[in-house]
Structure 1
Amino acid sequence: MAVFDGDFWIQLVVLAAVGVFLLIMLWPTASTGRRLLRKWQVRDPSDAQVEDAIRYLKRRRLLYPWLYVTIGFVPMNGDDSTTQFLVVVLAGTLLAELLALRVPREGRRVASLAPRGLSDIAAKGVLISYPVVVLAMAVPLVIWEQWARLGWLALSVLVVAVIVWAAVARPAIGDEIVDLALRTRSVHVSAGLGAGMAGVLVHGLLGFVGILAWIAIANTKPMPAKTAP
């Protein structure tokens, strides 16, 4: 597409507008942060804990407009808005987790009494169901010889794997209980998004199963012991 083509600029404006609209609709507030923490088993969060949650959400949502503009011009073979939304959110989560790997110059550092592993952060059901869903979606893509879609599926698996690694490895900041809860959210939500991505790549009944898996995995709450310091 030529740089000065009229359709290019129209698409650019539309994608930027969608990203900005999504940013406005999803902009985190104190009530948003409080609901987030309660959902992830942090009871009666304090104002400082809510600030940690808001900072976590802002780090992701500020990336959405830029990602919509960038990814909007990448051919994904998904041909629907759901695929584009999933790619944007997955990419935003990935970038946010990678940025969080930096040791901050400022901020309330916390130290865990014991090293946290993936099994200490994520629910076993999530760790088992996500690869099962991916394999179930990969089989028909291989049978149908949908190699391009299989490639996008493999890329989404790689992205989810990096997000999960970064969620475990990033330095601890702020309140320890909140830090652990948000790490769990990163793992569960990214695995859910990965399952949803697998579903929209397959379409049909299996694709619907992938969407249901997205909802179930992303909303799987941790056991109370998971969020205990």
Structure 2
Amino acid sequence: MLDAAARRVLDAPLARAAGALDRPWLSPDRLTALGLALGLGCAVAAAVQWWGTALVLWLVSRVADGLDGPLARRRRAVGAPGDAGSGGFFDITADFCVYGSTVAGVAVGVTHAFGAPWEPFLAVLLAYYVNGTAFLAFSSIAERSGRQLDDGRSLSFLGGLAEGTETIVVHALWLLLPTVAWQLAWGWAAVVAVSAVHRMWVGYRSLR
């Protein structure tokens, strides 16, 4: 829901940051890999209840994830070699790895530290699974049928109540407020589930 507004605010600063980072040895895929490694580190830190460390790793990983696209577009604009298809594939795969692992890491951490239930986090993972299936299936079929949505990203994304911006905020809140993370997880699972149903409906109608 907030991704479009966030892009309007952040696109210019991220483009400038990508320009400052543009060096031959730093490719968009390497930035994606850095975001993946930091995100997995966040999951491990959360699992062992290093909440502050996990929060820093989470935020830095999302910054790296936000910079790989602008750097790739900058390289393409000047005719530098690269493959937007493989980069987009790596990026979305890394995102799903990071999102899923951090949910699991927070679940392990709060269960051991506070005796919190794990079921809310399982519900989040299920909602992520359905939501991800809906928009990835739409992207694939829309591409084949010539109905893709071009917003500058590698995939056709259907908007929804739960998008990347909201995910970053909620995961950060879990790490800031681990004692109430499981309550937040129930609410977030419901929001993602509503978003999944919405994407299924809109995607079905768009492809008819």
Determine if the TM-score, normalized by the shorter chain, exceeds 0.5.
no
- When Rg is computed on C-alpha atoms for both structures, the one with the higher figure is 1
> More helix per residue: 1 or 2?
2
